[in-house]
Amino acid sequence: MKKIALIFGGPSGEHEVSVNSAENIAGNLDLSKYEVHKIFVSKDKKFQFLPDDKKLVLPEAIPKIYSLEFNVAIIAIHGEFGEDGQLQAILDSIDLPYVGSDMTASAAAMDKNISNILFEKADLNVPSYIVFSNKEISDLRYPIVIKPVRGGSSVGTVILKDQAGLSKALEEGFRYDDRLMAQEYVFGRELTCGVLENEKGESFALPPTEIIPQKEPFFNYSAKYTPGGSREITPPDLPDQQIEELQGLALKAHNILGCKGISRSDFILSGNKWYILETNTIPGMTKTSLIPQEANAAGINMSKLTDILIQSALNK
């Protein structure tokens, strides 16, 4: 029986999503194969080894994780600390295998400026953008998207049609990061595509999903996590050739960043041109999240999905 550390929570604005992801993962792990230990990380980065209510600071938590002799860690922390390479570096230091990408790939994917540079060098289309770290920004061409450089679940992301809401958008964005990105708003269809690894460590793309927000102008936090906030069509109503193109682009993004185990890349299809927006190395795993939905469309239920992810970590 494999001993699993399921680490969730964390300090980011995606804290509640992480809790829900962990709940869904834990509820679908085969308890005949896995002994699951839940480790909750509070918003101030204190570690709680459930059901114990004692909270440990990081220098106390690391030796305890090491002493418990886990076989694999499943990192379910989205955003800061879990998805940006910090926790990966900690687990590497104690030689504990974990699901997903290493410190370098995680940090590169989390930083939209770095990932965009890598995407452009590999000839992927990226909407034009600038990165800035103060509120004195001008000469922007609207419509634009203002978003934190290091963020996820569209937290702190705002679409502006004109300059009227700029000040408020900057104030909101700087709550989550000290660098913001102003990016060209590309009109088109929103699609996303996950990537997993098989038993041989070979990456493969899942059936993609088209996202049609129902109440919001784009697939923001509310659209993602409010029931009825969006329509998600898996696979999308596209010709087979375009579906294959999208899957190829998702695989390319996964490999460019050096991702392992799992990723999900988001795209806009404008006319017949694909634009990549970002790659997530720890995508949501809630009951309504996109990766479980895409996996299910490929005949992979949530229990099998967790098996695949754990095996990918053991194969590293």
Residue 120 has pLDDT above 80, yes or no: yes
Is 14 one of the catalytic residues?
yes
Residue 221 has pLDDT above 70, yes or no: no
Question: What is the predicted pLDDT for the residue at 200?
Answer: 82
Please indicate if the annotation marks 266 as binding a ligand.
Answer: yes
- Given the residues 12, 21, 101, 153, the one annotated as active site: 153
Numbered ranges of CATH 3.30.1490.20 in the chain: 129-184
- Given the residues 14, 80, 172, 232, the one annotated as active site: 14
Report the DSSP pairing between strands 55-56 and 158-160: unpaired
Contact 234, 297 (CB under 8 A): yes
Residue 273 has pLDDT above 50, yes or no: yes
Question: What is the predicted pLDDT for the residue at 316?
Answer: 79
* Gap between the Cα atoms of 199 and 308, Å rounded: 7
Numbered ranges of CATH 3.40.50.20 in the chain: 2-99
pLDDT band with cut points at 50, 70 and 90 for residue 219: very low
Q: What percent of the chain has pLDDT over 90?
A: 80
Q: What is the DSSP string of 47-88?
A: EEETT---EE-HHHHHHHHHHTT-SEEEE---STTTTSSHHH
Report which of 299, 304, 232 is spatially closest to residue 266, judged by C-alpha positions: 232
Report the DSSP pairing between strands 189-197 and 144-148: unpaired
* Gap between the Cα atoms of 105 and 102, Å rounded: 6
Which CATH homologous superfamily contains domain 129-184?
Answer: ATP-grasp fold, A domain (3.30.1490.20)
Measured between alpha carbons, how far is residue 305 from residues 73, 78, 271 in Å? 15, 18, 34
**What is the residue type of 294?**
E
Average pLDDT over residues 97-101: 98
Question: What is the predicted pLDDT for the residue at 220?
Answer: 46
Q: What is the pLDDT of residues 227-267, one digit of tens each?
A: 566 789 999 999 999 999 999 999 999 999 999 999 999 99
**What is the residue type of 245?**
E
Question: What is the predicted pLDDT for the residue at 230?
Answer: 79
Domain 2-99, second-level architecture: 3-Layer(aba) Sandwich (3.40)
- Given the residues 18, 21, 289, 312, the one annotated as active site: 289
Residue 82 has pLDDT above 60, yes or no: yes
Report which of 3, 49, 40, 48 is spatially closest to residue 21, judged by C-alpha positions: 40
Residue 133 has pLDDT above 90, yes or no: no
Report which of 82, 116, 118, 117 is spatially closest to residue 100, judged by C-alpha positions: 82
**What is the residue type of 66?**
Y
pLDDT band with cut points at 50, 70 and 90 for residue 222: low
Domain 107-125+187-315, second-level architecture: 2-Layer Sandwich (3.30)
Please indicate if the annotation marks 280 as binding a ligand.
Answer: yes
Task: Enter the tokens of residue 47.
Answer: 């570690």
Average pLDDT over residues 292-314: 97
**What is the residue type of 138?**
S
Q: What is the pLDDT of residues 277-286, one digit of tens each?
A: 999 999 999 9
Is 154 one of the catalytic residues?
no
Question: What is the predicted pLDDT for the residue at 216?
Answer: 57
Contact 96, 316 (CB under 8 A): no
Is 153 one of the catalytic residues?
yes
Average pLDDT in the chain: 93
Numbered ranges of CATH 3.30.470.20 in the chain: 107-125+187-315
Q: What is the DSSP string of 151-176?
A: --TTTT-EEESSGGGHHHHHHHHTTT
Question: What is the predicted pLDDT for the residue at 140?
Answer: 84
Average pLDDT over residues 16-36: 97
Please indicate if the annotation marks 278 as binding a ligand.
Answer: yes
pLDDT band with cut points at 50, 70 and 90 for residue 139: confident
The pTM for the full model equals: 0.93
